[in-house]
Amino acid sequence: MKRIFAVALIMIMAISVFVGCSSDNEVAEVNPSDIISQINEKYPDAVKGLTELKEKSDLNRYYEIDEKDIDGFAAVINTDSSKAALEIVIVKTDNVEDVKQKLNIRYQAIISQYASYSAEQLKMAKEGGVESTDGYVYLVVAENAKDIMSLISESLS
């Protein structure tokens, strides 16, 4: 009887270990498009008039990010070169460092562009930047950039 009780107790403990380690440690998938929607709801002026990029090839064209490095993304940018460069880009990737470097190249180009002719836009651009967290890299150059970056960071955490 003691052996049966001991075996049953061991089985219950083993099952509880497996149940305890299951879904609690899994990170929920985040859809970058949902984050852009949240930004649009909270800061509509930041994304008004921007064009949504829909294909991985668009990220390759604008940022030279290799399509194989893109597991998911959402991006809204100003495609009119006569207007200020406003961009919000969120990329899910396994190659965080490379994607971050490519988005940083674009960000530095925007800073250089604004430094030569618009102090107001330069100030706005400097409030943005490129950050990464948990397999996502994001670039923000927009009004309310600090708040938008915080919203993205919170959504990805």
Map the chain to HEC letters: CHHHHHHHHHHHHHHHHHHHCCHHHCCCCCCHHHHHHHHHHHCHHHHCCCEEECCHHHHHHHHCCCHHHCCEEEEEECCCCCCCCCEEEEEECCCHHHHHHHHHHHHHHHHHHHHCCCHHHHHHHHHCEEEEECCEEEEEECCCHHHHHHHHHHHHC
Residue 5's pLDDT is 47
Lowest mean pLDDT among 41-50, 132-141, 142-151: 41-50
- % of the chain exceeding 90 in pLDDT: 17
Mean pLDDT of the chain: 80
Instruction: Convert the pLDDT of each residue in 6-48 to its tens digit.
Output: 545 455 555 555 555 544 444 457 788 888 888 888 888 777 7
User: Can you give the pTM of this predicted structure?
Assistant: 0.76
Average pLDDT over residues 108-130: 82
pLDDT band per the 50, 70, 90 thresholds, residue 68 = very high
